[in-house]
């Protein structure tokens, strides 16, 4: 599952530049029985299977490095991934992501092994693998030297608390749709002000929950006052 995802984009770049290392481990390699069984029936229930604690504890103990590693269980019950969490994860020496499967994971993993649980959103995936890949991709962007141009992470959506400004490329006109003229003005200040206005406008319209007046400059607040507070996508 991981080979394809990690062989492109930001993660590949981080791997190529030797600023990130990824290991994928199979829980079955940490079983001790003939059938290499990683799951079992739940106590007190009839349906489904639950991942057993022993292979998970053993796997984490085997791969954990001395001197600082953080262990997270991917689960819909966790702290929701956002740019702040991605940045925190990128600063760790080693993170161990435990991918849940089947109906659940023995609770002793979350309670006594993991430092925390991470969710990538309020929906249930069939396993933690896709979620782990999302976490790695989002965190890799914050490893110094991974994202090409200085400042491009800083300008990303959510960095600085608001969404990204709109981008355009050639042609200047496509099916009658024109690129805003300000972008050809050559006036950097004007372009910056336009971008900031558009970013604020988009955030106010589409994600008003992100707009925290305390975090905005007086100029931003002035720009925002002119923007109607409406949601276009709900």
> Which residues contact ligand ADE by CB under 6 A?
74-76, 100, 119-121, 123-125, 128, 131
- Please report how close the Cβ of residue 51 comes to ligand ADE at its closest, in angstroms: 12
Nearer of residues 84 and 187 to ligand ADE, judged by Cβ: 84
Nearer of residues 49 and 183 to ligand ADE, judged by Cβ: 49
Nearer of residues 81 and 162 to ligand ADE, judged by Cβ: 81
Nearer of residues 74 and 159 to ligand ADE, judged by Cβ: 74
Q: Which two tokens stand for residue 18?
A: 């030797």
Helix H, strand E, coil C: the string for the chain is CHHHHCCCHHHHHHHHCCCCCCCCCCHHHHCCCCCCCCEECCCCCCCCCEECHHHHHHHHHHHCCCCCCEEEEEEEEEEECCHHHHHHHHCCCCEEEEECCCCEECHHHHHHCCCEEEECCCCCCCCHHHHHHHHHHHHHCCCCCCCCCCCCCCCCCCCCCCCCCCCCCCCCEECCEECCHHHHCCCHHHHHHHHHHHHHHHHHHHCHHHCCHHHCCHHHHHHHHCCCCCCCCC
- Please report how close the Cβ of residue 74 comes to ligand ADE at its closest, in angstroms: 4
- Please report how close the Cβ of residue 125 comes to ligand ADE at its closest, in angstroms: 4
- Please report how close the Cβ of residue 189 comes to ligand ADE at its closest, in angstroms: 42
Residues tagged active-site: 76, 103, 141, 156
């Amino acid at each position: 599952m991981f080979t394809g995802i990690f062989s492109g984009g930001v993660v590949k770049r981080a791997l190529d530049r030797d600023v990130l290392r990824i290991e994928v481990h199979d829980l079955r390699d940490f079983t001790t029985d003939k059938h290499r069984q990683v799951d079992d029936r739940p106590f007190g229930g009839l349906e489904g299977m639950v991942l057993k604690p022993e292979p998970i504890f053993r796997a984490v103990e085997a791969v954990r490095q001395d001197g600082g590693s953080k262990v997270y269980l991917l689960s819909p019950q966790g702290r929701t991934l956002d740019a702040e969490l991605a940045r925190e994860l990128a600063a760790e020496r080693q993170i161990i992501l435990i991918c849940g499967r089947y109906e659940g994971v023995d609770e002793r993993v979350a309670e006594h092994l993991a430092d925390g649980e991470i969710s990538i959103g309020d929906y249930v995936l069939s396993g933690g693998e896709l979620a782990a890949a999302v976490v790695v991709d989002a965190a890799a962007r914050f490893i110094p030297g991974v994202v090409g141009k200085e400042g491009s992470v800083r300008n990303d959506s959510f960095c600085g608390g608001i969404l990204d400004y709109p981008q355009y490329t050639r042609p200047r006109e496509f099916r009658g749709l024109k690129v805003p003229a300000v972008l050809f003005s050559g006036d950097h200040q004007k372009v910056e002000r336009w971008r900031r206005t558009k970013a604020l406008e988009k955030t106010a319209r589409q994600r008003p929950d992100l707009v925290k007046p305390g975090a905005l400059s007086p100029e931003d607040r002035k720009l925002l006052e002119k923007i109607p507070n409406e949601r276009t996508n709900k």
